[in-house]
C-alpha cells in the first residue's frame, strides 16, 4: 500500500508557521516502492482542514491594543521596504560585489585570460575569528563551490555562517569559491566559461599537491560542474550537484510548469531580442521574474504578509535575503542564446550534443569521478525528474553504468524548496555535512547507482559523527525512467529553431543597429523587478525618510502583542486563508497552461 506524507506547503522564503489556521493548502507526496526498492514520489496539492482552536473573543481593550500594534507594524514594515530599496541601490553603486560572509583573496581573474570571461577564483581565508589555517585539514581534498549564474549575483553558497562554505570549513576542507562579475566580457560563450572553470580546477589541484578538488555546484553551477567534469575528468574529484537540472524536459504534470515556458514564447528568439535591445547583454532580472512567477502567492503576498505579521523577528532575515535576491547580473547574448537553445529547449546535454567548441560534443558518459545528486520533491524549479532523468538517457541500463566505471549517488528530500537546498540552515548544517563527511565512502563504492539514506535519530544538526549513520542502497537505472512526451517537446525545439532562424536573419541586425546605451539603460532600470523595489528608496521617494524617523521612535518603546492575542490569531488565520486562495489560483493557472500547451503542441506536458 502506498504511504502518504503530508507537509505544509510554505513558501521558500517564509519559514515561520502561522498560528490558528483553519484551512491551509498542503502538498502531498505519495511514496510508492518501485522495482528493486527505488522510492517513487508522486506529488499532488489539495486544500485540507486543520483543527485549530477558535480565537477567543476580543474586548475593547484588545481592539485598541491591536490597532496600536498594527500602526507600529505598518511603520516598521514600510521602513524595512525602504531599507531594502536603499540596500539595493547601495549594492548597485558598489558594483554588486559578491555577498560572501567570509574573508577571501582572489587567485585568478578570468577577465585576464586569452579568452576572457567575467569569472574569478577566490580562496576563503578566514571564518569569523578563525584563520583558514586553523580551520582546515590539508590532508582533506579542497572543496570548490560554484554558485548559480541564473540572474542573481554570487554568494548564496556562503552569504551566512550556516552555509555550504561554513559547513565545508567546519568539516576541515580547504574551501575555494567561484564568483562572477555583473557584466559579461564581450562575446564570451558558454564554452569559454567552462574552459575558465577548468583552469580554476587545475589551479586548486596544483595548490594541493594534485589532490582533485570536490566540485560543489548549485543549480546552474551544478550543470556547469558536470560540463567541467566531462571536459577535464582527470583533475576533478567527486562532484555534488545540488538542485541541478540536466534533463530539462522532464517533470511532473501539474507541478513543474517552468519547462513549458519556452513553448509559449516561441523559443529562444525572445532571449536573443532582449539581449539585442540591451546592447548584447541579457538582463538577469528577466530570469528572476520567471522564478517569482512560478509561485505568485509567495512572491506577491506571503513573504510580505510574513514580514508584516512578524516584523520584530523577520526584518533582518528578510533584508539579508533580499540583498542577494535583488542583485541582478547580466549574461552575454552568446551565453543566453546557447544556454536556452541547446540546454533548456534543445535538451541536448543528456543526448551528448552540446558543443563547447568545434572539436567535439560534451559526453556525460566521459565523467568518471563520483557524482552526488541532491534533489527535492518540494523543488518546483529543479524537481528530481530533471536532476535524475538524464541518468537513464545517458546509460541504457545498470550494467551499462557499471561498464563505464561510474558511481552515482543520489539523495532526495520530500519538501525543501529550491533555494532551501543551498541556504536552509537545517539542510546545510546536516545533509551537506553528511555528504562531505562520507566522501571517502562514496569514493570506495563499486561502480553503480546508489541512494544515500541517512539515519539521524537525534535530530541535532550538530550531532557527533557517531550519532548518525549513512548507508548506500543499490538502485537500478531502469527504475528512474520518468515518462514525459518527448515528441511534444521536440516540436517546441523545432518551432524555436525556425523562429530563431527568422529573427537572427531578418530582425536581429536591425534591432542591434537601433539599440543604444540610453535604450539599454532605460530597459534595465524600468524593469518591474527593479522598480518594485527602488520605488521605496529615499532617493526615489524622499518622503520615505519619515518612516525611518518614526521607526526609530517606535523601536525605543516597542511592545509587540503576544501570539495568543485573539486579534493576532484572527489576523494570521486570514493570512493563511488568503495564501490558500493564492495556491488555488496558481493551480488553476498551471492547469490552464498545461491544457494550452497540449493544444498547441499536442500530447501532454
Give strand ranges (E) for 169-285: 175-180, 214-218, 239-242, 281-283
| pLDDT at residue 350, as a whole number | 87
* Residue 426 placed within a domain: yes
Pick the last residue of a domain from 435, 469, 484.
484
pLDDT-derived band of residue 252, with 50, 70 and 90 as boundaries?
Answer: confident
- Same domain for 231 and 376, yes or no, is yes
Question: What does the block give as the cell for 540?
Answer: 526615489
- Mean pLDDT score, 379-387: 90
* Residue 541 placed within a domain: no
| pLDDT at residue 5, as a whole number | 36
- Same domain for 49 and 113, yes or no, is no
pLDDT-derived band of residue 233, with 50, 70 and 90 as boundaries?
Answer: low
Gap between the Cα atoms of 265 and 198, Å rounded: 34
- Same domain for 122 and 237, yes or no, is yes
Pick the last residue of a domain from 456, 484, 512.
484
* Residue 74 placed within a domain: no
Q: Tell me how many domains the chain contains.
A: 2
* Residue 588 placed within a domain: yes
* Residue 29 placed within a domain: yes
Pick the last residue of a domain from 459, 484, 509.
484
Average pLDDT, the chain: 87
Cβ(355)–Cβ(116) under 8 Å? no
- Same domain for 27 and 169, yes or no, is no
Render pLDDT for 150-174 as a digit per residue (tens, 0 to 9). Answer: 899 998 888 777 788 888 888 889 9
| pLDDT at residue 166, as a whole number | 86
pTM of the model: 0.87
* Residue 317 placed within a domain: no
133: Cβ–Cβ under 8 A, 6 or more apart, which residues?
none
Among 480, 537, 464, 514, CA closest to 93: 537
Gap between the Cα atoms of 262 and 223, Å rounded: 19
Q: Compute the C-alpha angle 161/167/168, nearest 5°.
A: 125
Pairing relationship of beta strands 407-413 and 371-376 according to DSSP bridges: parallel
| pLDDT at residue 44, as a whole number | 41
CA atoms within 13 A on the CB side of 529: 23
CATH of the domain at 137: 3.40.50.1820
pLDDT-derived band of residue 585, with 50, 70 and 90 as boundaries?
Answer: very high
pLDDT exceeds 60 at position 190:
yes
Residue 140 DSSP one-character state: S
Which helix (H) or strand (E) covers residue 570, if one does?
helix 566-601
Only one residue has cell 510580505, namely: 304
- Mean pLDDT score, 319-338: 94
Only one residue has cell 531599507, namely: 83
- Mean pLDDT score, 382-410: 94
Render pLDDT for 489-546 as a digit per residue (tens, 0 to 9). Answer: 999 999 999 999 999 999 999 999 999 999 999 999 999 999 999 999 999 999 999 9
Cβ(29)–Cβ(15) under 8 Å? no
pLDDT-derived band of residue 32, with 50, 70 and 90 as boundaries?
Answer: very low
Render pLDDT for 102-131 as a digit per residue (tens, 0 to 9). Answer: 899 999 999 999 999 999 999 999 876 666
- Same domain for 116 and 217, yes or no, is yes
Q: Which of 32-41, 380-389, 479-488 has the lowest mean pLDDT?
A: 32-41
pLDDT-derived band of residue 8, with 50, 70 and 90 as boundaries?
Answer: very low
> Which structural domain, as residue segments, surrounds residue 597?
3-53+577-601
pLDDT-derived band of residue 357, with 50, 70 and 90 as boundaries?
Answer: confident
- Same domain for 119 and 244, yes or no, is yes
Strand partners of residue 217: 146, 241
Among 463, 405, 390, CA closest to 433: 463
Render pLDDT for 455-471 as a digit per residue (tens, 0 to 9). Answer: 988 888 888 888 899 99
* Residue 293 placed within a domain: no
Amino acid at each position: 500500500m502506498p504511504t502518504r506524507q503530508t507537509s505544509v506547503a510554505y513558501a521558500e522564503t517564509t519559514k515561520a508557521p502561522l498560528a490558528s489556521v483553519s484551512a491551509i493548502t498542503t502538498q502531498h507526496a505519495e511514496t510508492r516502492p518501485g522495482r528493486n526498492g527505488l522510492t517513487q514520489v508522486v506529488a499532488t496539492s489539495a486544500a485540507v482542514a486543520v483543527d485549530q482552536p477558535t480565537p477567543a473573543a476580543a474586548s475593547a481593550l484588545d481592539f485598541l491594543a491591536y490597532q496600536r500594534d498594527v500602526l507600529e507594524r505598518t511603520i516598521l514594515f514600510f521602513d524595512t521596504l525602504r531599507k531594502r530599496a536603499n540596500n539595493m541601490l547601495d549594492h548597485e553603486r558598489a558594483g554588486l560585489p559578491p555577498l560572501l560572509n567570509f574573508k577571501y583573496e582572489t587567485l585568478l581573474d578570468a577577465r585576464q585570460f586569452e579568452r576572457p570571461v567575467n569569472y574569478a577564483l577566490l580562496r576563503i581565508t578566514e571564518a569569523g575569528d578563525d584563520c583558514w589555517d586553523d580551520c582546515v585539514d590539508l590532508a582533506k581534498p579542497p572543496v570548490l563551490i560554484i554558485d548559480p549564474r541564473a540572474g542573481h549575483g554570487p554568494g548564496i553558497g556562503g552569504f551566512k555562517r550556516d552555509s555550504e562554505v561554513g559547513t565545508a570549513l567546519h568539516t576541515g576542507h580547504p574551501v575555494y569559491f567561484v564568483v562572477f562579475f555583473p557584466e559579461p566580457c564581450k562575446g564570451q560563450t558558454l564554452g569559454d566559461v567552462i574552459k575558465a572553470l577548468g583552469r580554476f580546477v587545475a589551479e586548486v589541484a596544483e595548490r594541493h599537491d594534485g589532490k582533485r578538488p570536490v566540485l560543489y555546484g548549485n543549480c546552474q553551477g551544478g550543470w556547469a560542474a558536470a560540463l567541467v567534469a566531462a571536459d577535464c575528468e582527470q583533475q576533478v574529484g567527486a562532484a555534488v550537484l545540488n538542485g541541478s537540472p540536466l534533463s530539462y524536459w522532464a517533470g511532473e504534470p501539474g507541478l513543474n510548469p517552468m519547462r513549458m515556458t519556452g513553448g509559449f514564447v516561441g523559443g529562444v528568439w525572445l532571449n536573443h531580442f532582449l539581449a539585442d535591445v540591451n546592447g548584447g547583454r541579457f538582463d538577469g532580472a528577466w530570469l528572476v521574474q520567471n522564478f517569482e512567477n512560478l509561485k505568485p502567492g509567495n512572491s506577491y503576498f506571503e513573504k510580505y504578509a510574513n514580514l508584516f505579521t512578524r516584523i520584530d523577528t523577520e526584518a533582518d532575515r528578510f533584508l539579508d535575503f533580499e540583498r542577494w535576491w535583488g542583485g541582478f547580473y547580466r549574461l552575454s547574448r552568446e551565453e543566453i542564446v546557447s544556454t536556452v537553445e541547446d540546454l533548456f529547449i534543445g535538451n541536448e546535454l543528456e543526448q551528448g550534443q552540446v558543443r563547447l567548441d568545434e572539436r567535439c560534443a560534451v559526453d556525460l558518459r566521459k565523467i568518471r569521478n563520483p557524482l552526488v545528486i541532491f534533489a527535492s520533491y518540494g523543488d518546483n524549479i529543479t524537481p528530481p525528474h530533471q536532476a535524475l532523468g538524464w541518468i537513464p538517457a545517458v546509460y541504457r541500463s545498470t550494467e551499462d553504468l557499471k561498464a563505464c566505471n561510474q558511481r552515482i549517488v543520489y539523495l532526495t528530500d520530500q519538501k525543501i524548496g529550491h533555494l532551501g537546498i543551498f541556504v536552509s540552515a537545517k539542510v546545510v548544517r546536516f545533509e551537506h555535512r553528511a555528504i562531505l563527511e562520507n566522501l571517502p565512502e562514496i569514493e570506495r563504492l563499486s561502480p553503480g547507482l546508489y541512494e544515500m539514506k541517512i539515519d539521524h535519530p537525534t535530530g541535532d544538526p550538530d550531532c557527533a559523527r557517531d550519532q548518525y549513520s549513512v548507508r548506500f542502497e543499490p538502485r537500478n537505472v531502469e527504475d528512474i525512467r520518468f515518462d514525459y512526451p518527448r515528441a511534444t517537446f521536440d516540436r517546441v525545439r523545432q518551432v524555436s529553431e525556425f523562429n530563431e532562424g527568422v529573427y537572427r536573419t531578418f530582425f536581429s541586425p536591425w534591432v542591434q543597429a537601433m539599440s543604444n546605451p540610453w535604450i539599454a539603460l532605460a530597459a534595465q532600470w524600468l524593469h518591474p523587478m527593479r522598480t518594485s523595489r527602488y520605488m521605496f528608496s529615499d532617493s526615489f521617494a524622499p518622503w520615505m525618510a519619515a518612516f525611518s524617523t518614526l521607526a526609530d521612535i517606535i523601536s525605543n518603546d516597542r511592545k509587540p502583542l503576544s501570539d495568543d492575542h485573539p486579534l493576532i490569531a484572527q489576523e494570521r488565520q486570514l493570512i493563511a486563508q488568503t495564501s490558500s486562495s493564492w495556491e488555488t489560483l496558481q493551480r488553476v493557472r498551471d492547469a490552464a497552461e498545461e491544457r494550452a500547451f497540449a493544444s498547441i503542441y499536442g500530447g501532454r506536458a
